[in-house]
Amino acid sequence: MSLQSVGFALVLFALSAALPAAAATPKVVRIATVAYFDADKPLFVGRPSIIARQGWLASELSKRGIALQWVPASHTAVGPIINEAFANHSIDFAEYGDLPSIIVNAAGVATRVVVPSGIGLDTYLVVPAGSTAKTIDDLKGKRIAIHRGRPWEVPLLRLLESRGLSYADFKVYNMNPQAAAAALAAGSIDALYTLNDALILEDQHVGKIIWSTRNAPPDWKMRAELWAAKDFIDRYPDITQLVATAYVKAALWSSQSENKDALIKLYTRPGIAEDLTRREYDNGAVPWSERWSPLFDAAVIDHYRHVTDYAVAKKLIRKPLAPDALLEPRFVNAALAQLGLTDYWRPRPVQGAKP
Amino acid sequence: MSPGVDSAMGAAVPTLTRLVRIPLLPRLVRLLPLLVLLVVWKAVTDAHWYPPELLVPPSEVWAALLELIETGELQNHLQVSLHRLGIGMALGCGFGVLFGVVMALSRTVETYTAPLFHVIRQVPSIALIPVLILIFGIGETFKILIVIKAAFFPVALATYTAVQGIPRPFFEVARVYQLPRAVLFRRIVLPATIPPIITGVRLALGRSWGTLVAAELLAAEAGIGQMMEFARQMFRIDVVMVGVLITGLIGFGFDRSFKWLEARLLRWRVR
């Protein structure tokens, strides 16, 4: 590249950075979500695949001359990738975990929960198949693996707290789930706390699940919601409403039991059996339609209070954060009213009971 | 390149001569790119072209460095990493020299081991992590093994080439003079092979350091790589940048020290 062309590029760059984007509508709405890669082709699972199938959002946006773009975030580092993208203004919405969202807000990048994702995901305590341990108490002094700083660390700490335990009572190993699965198979750890890959380990007779958040209070689950950049909400409330309405429509479709089989297909990530997804979502712990509730109920509010407190207590964030300010329920409420669904889902109370 | 410049840059010239030949000013000029980088970094962050959370200003990276030193966190991580590197390098280089010599001297060993040797040599150490964990567990062993693997191959290869490269006539002359084995080894084999082996060790050190940090990013409880990985999870890009800086400086320091050692060990050539 010649010196002139470098200079020209720099000038262009400076201009583009200096010009305020004053358009009334954006050219594109970018929604980031976890993706699995088949060769170099991203595969989306979960709510984005329903919304893409329904086609309503894409067509509503295109009527206004706006494109819809799904931005893939590799499942190996969803939190950091999406946080960096929000900070860089290269996405407008993202569907991802609770803890990274709180971390990015504490760092000064403002984002808001626009549509909660339902009751949340279960997390599991797995021990080697031949282990005699039956509860977390039996694992005292033993080696336990967890990927530190990932969203499923919060429910583990809740479990420990509820039993009067802490990390000091164990030998804690920090490793990603892939490495931990090998370690569990080799018997070089005594327990692993992880996501639904625990079900795979159980199927392969490598491990057995001795505890999960399935029967724990509803606010103990790991949550991933639809988050939006605050400046996007402020600038384009109408577009935000469209996206939120699309997500509520997807929640309605999900909650109808005749769509159960189709949903299980759309929620099954490549490389795992459909049966596993079925066991994860259709296990009778919660009525099917309630599982997909988009309400900002007490369980959601309490969950974010707890995760924020945890992040402050563990010094993961340096500035305290007002958790209630992270929640932006007006779009869901408007969508429910618009779609005539105000009484469709019931808000869940938070039980004080310990599992 | 003129012969003068060539010899000034060649490893065969003692350090002292190099110091004398390159005057002070050009030596300072070599720091210029570093200075330019700092100035551009500062200017770009001041202009707010990029979000300050992502492109952290140099002053904040400096503050993060001081904070990490004050809390002792950086020293802890570094100690863990350097401990792994030290043990892994010692074992990897030791085995590498032994294996290289044996492979060069014995045609049988070479025939049997060469294919496997060259196949494993091509596999990135990080790809072996799951296998290593399966066999050796999650303790320090597998992290040290990754360093051993990264160090072993360049040193073994350098040794093999060095021993093979000793000209046949050297041995013939030694036979004519009826040199005792010890003398043959001390006066001929060692001087002929040490320089390329040292170069191999220098390459091995650079490669091991990079590989170790990368392995720590993926699976470790502590170490400079883990410090960076956890900081990224916590959106502390300032700490990530400190890690990048420290990793680079340490790698640079190692490389320079070995270059200096190479030059010192080769002084005899000038005599």
Q: How far is CA B2 from CA A49, B5, B16, B210, B267, in A?
A: 65, 5, 21, 34, 22
- What backbone torsions phi and psi does residue A212 show, to the nearest 5 degrees? -150, 170
- Is B53 in Cβ contact with A17 (below 8 Å)? no
Say if A19 falls within a structural domain. Answer: no
Low pLDDT (below 70) residues in chain A: 1-23, 39, 350-355
Which residue, A187, A220, A253, sits at the end of a domain?
A: A220
Which residue, A185, A220, A255, sits at the end of a domain?
A: A220
Contact between residue B132 and residue B215 where contact means Cβ atoms under 8 Å apart: no
A159 and A296 in one domain? no
Structure tokens at A168: 């000091």
Is the pLDDT at B66 greater than 70? The verdict is: yes
A236 and A209 in one domain? no
Half-sphere exposure in the Cβ direction for B212 (13 Å, CA) = 32
Say if A330 falls within a structural domain. Answer: yes
A199 and A73 in one domain? no
Q: What pLDDT does residue A352 have?
A: 47
Largest CA distance in chain B: 76
Say if A102 falls within a structural domain. Answer: yes
A333 and A236 in one domain? yes
Identify the DSSP state of A136: G
Is the pLDDT at B6 greater than 50? The verdict is: no
Q: How far is CA B126 from CA A183, A214, A351, B149, B216, in A?
A: 16, 36, 46, 10, 10
Residue A35's DSSP bridge partners are A44, A74
Closest chain A residue to B131, measured at CA: A182
- Is B219 in Cβ contact with A84 (below 8 Å)? no
Structure tokens at B177: 């003079």
How far is Cα B56 from Cα B42, in angstroms, rounded to an integer?
9
- Is A87 in Cβ contact with B49 (below 8 Å)? no
Q: Is A44 helix (H, G, I), strand (E, B) or coil?
A: strand
Give the number of A-B residue pairs with CB atoms closer than 8 Å.
74
Least confident segment among A229-233, A307-311, B130-134, B264-268: B264-268
A336 Cβ under 8 Å from any chain B Cβ: no
A176 Cβ under 8 Å from any chain B Cβ: yes
> Residue B233: which H helix or E strand, with range?
helix B224-233
> Residue B206: which H helix or E strand, with range?
helix B190-218
Contact between residue A213 and residue A162 where contact means Cβ atoms under 8 Å apart: no
- Is A79 in Cβ contact with B219 (below 8 Å)? no
Contact between residue A276 and residue A196 where contact means Cβ atoms under 8 Å apart: yes
How far is Cα B73 from Cα B58, in angstroms, rounded to an integer?
20
- What backbone torsions phi and psi does residue A232 show, to the nearest 5 degrees? -70, -45
A168 and A153 in one domain? yes
**Top-confidence residue, A45 or B162:** B162
Is the pLDDT at B139 greater than 70? The verdict is: yes
SS3 string, A68-115, reads EEEEEEECCCHHHHHHHHHHCCCCCEEEEEHHHHHHHHHCCCCEEEEE
How far is Cα B166 from Cα B193, in angstroms, rounded to an integer?
8
A232 and A318 in one domain? yes
Q: How far is CA A146 from CA A141, B45, B96, in A?
A: 15, 36, 36
Which of A6, A74, A76, A84 to mutate against chain B (most B CBs within 10 Å)?
Answer: A84
A115 and A228 in one domain? yes
Is the pLDDT at B151 greater than 50? The verdict is: yes
A300 and A213 in one domain? no
Half-sphere exposure in the Cβ direction for A157 (13 Å, CA) = 19
A46 and A194 in one domain? no
CATH number at residue A279: 3.40.190.10
A114 Cβ under 8 Å from any chain B Cβ: no
Chain A CB contacts of B54 below 8 Å:
84, 87-88
> In whole angstroms, what separates CA B90 from the centre of its chain?
12
Instruction: Report pLDDT digits (tens) over B194-207.
Output: 888 988 999 999 99
Say if A177 falls within a structural domain. Answer: yes
- Is A179 in Cβ contact with B138 (below 8 Å)? yes
Structure tokens at A193: 């706390």
Q: What pLDDT does residue A279 have?
A: 86
Say if A22 falls within a structural domain. Answer: no
Contact between residue B89 and residue B147 where contact means Cβ atoms under 8 Å apart: yes
Q: Is A174 helix (H, G, I), strand (E, B) or coil?
A: strand
Strands A28-38 and A41-44: antiparallel
A179 Cβ under 8 Å from any chain B Cβ: yes
A308 and A297 in one domain? yes
A76 Cβ under 8 Å from any chain B Cβ: no
Say if A140 falls within a structural domain. Answer: yes
Is the pLDDT at B87 greater than 90? The verdict is: yes
How far is Cα A108 from Cα A24, in angstroms, rounded to an integer?
26
Domain count, chain A: 2
- Is B51 in Cβ contact with A109 (below 8 Å)? yes
A116 and A93 in one domain? yes
Average pLDDT over residues B67-84: 92
Which of B48, B50, B141, B233 to mutate against chain A (most A CBs within 10 Å)?
Answer: B233
Of A89, A109, A149, the CB nearest to B230: A149
A161 and A95 in one domain? no
Query: pTM of the full predicted structure?
Result: 0.78
Say if A106 falls within a structural domain. Answer: yes
> In whole angstroms, what separates CA A42 from the centre of its chain?
18
Query: Range of A164's domain?
Result: 124-220
Q: What pLDDT does residue B137 have?
A: 73
Within 62-121 of B, beta carbons closer than 8 Å to A belong to none
Residues 6+ apart with CB under 8 A from A334: A241, A244, A245
Say if A349 falls within a structural domain. Answer: no
ipTM: 0.71
Q: What pLDDT does residue A311 have?
A: 85
